[in-house]
Amino acid sequence: MEKINYIIEENEVGNRLDKVLCARSEDFSRARIQQLLDQGLIHVNDEIKKNNYKVRCGDEVEIEIPEVKELEAFPQDLNLDIIYEDEDIIVINKPKGMVVHPGAGNPDHTLVNGLLYHCKDLSGINGVLRPGIVHRIDKDTTGCIVACKNDMAHEAISKQLSNKTCTRDYIAIVHGELPHEYGTIDAPIGRDSRDRQKMTVTDKNARDAVTHFRVEERFKGFTLVSFKLETGRTHQIRVHMQYIGFPIVGDPKYSLRNTRQDTQGQALHAQSLTLVHPRTHETMTFEAPLPDYFKALIEEMRGY
CATH of the domain at 134: 3.30.2350.10
Residue 155 has pLDDT above 80, yes or no: yes
Single-letter residue type at 222: F
**What is the per-residue pLDDT for 7?**
93
Q: What was the pLDDT predicted at 105?
A: 75
Using the predicted structure, report yes or no on whether residue 222 has a pLDDT greater than 90: yes
Q: What's the CATH number where 22 sits? A: 3.10.290.10
Question: Where residue 26 falls among pLDDT bands split at 50, 70, 90?
Answer: low
Q: In this predicted structure, what is the pLDDT of residue 260?
A: 76
Question: What does the pLDDT average to over 18-40?
Answer: 78
Q: What is the mean pLDDT of residues 52-69?
A: 85
User: 167-175 and 268-276 as β-strands: parallel, antiparallel, unpaired?
Assistant: antiparallel
Same domain, 170 and 304: yes
Q: Based on the residue annotation, tell me whether 18 is a catalytic residue of this protein.
A: no
* 70: pLDDT strictly greater than 80: no
- In this structure, the answer to whether residues 81 and 155 fall within a common structural domain is yes
| Domain count for the chain | 3
Within this chain, do residues 50 and 92 fall inside the same structural domain, yes or no? no
Expressed as residue numbers, the domain containing 29 is 2-65
Question: Does 293 map to a domain?
Answer: no
Question: What pLDDT band is residue 240 in, cutting at 50, 70 and 90?
Answer: very high
- What per-residue confidence (pLDDT) applies to 4? 87
209 and 266 fall within a common domain = yes
**Predicted confidence (pLDDT) per residue in 103-149, tens digit:** 777 788 999 999 999 998 898 877 777 889 999 999 999 999 999 99
92 and 141 housed in the same domain: yes
Distance between CA 253 and CA 95 in Å, rounded?
19
| Per-residue buried b or exposed e for 235-264, using 16+ beta carbons within 10 Å of the residue's own CB | bbbbbbbbbbebbbbbbebbbeeeeebbeb
Would you put residue 153 in left (φ > 0), alpha (ψ -120 to 50) or beta? alpha
Q: Which of 138, 140, 169, 262 is catalytic?
A: 138
The vertex-230 CA angle with 291 and 139, nearest 5°, equals 35
Q: Which of 139, 163, 187 is the last residue of a domain?
A: 163
Q: Do 209 and 283 fall into the same domain?
A: yes
Say if residue 83 is in the same domain as residue 46: no
Helix (H) or strand (E) holding 215: strand 210-219
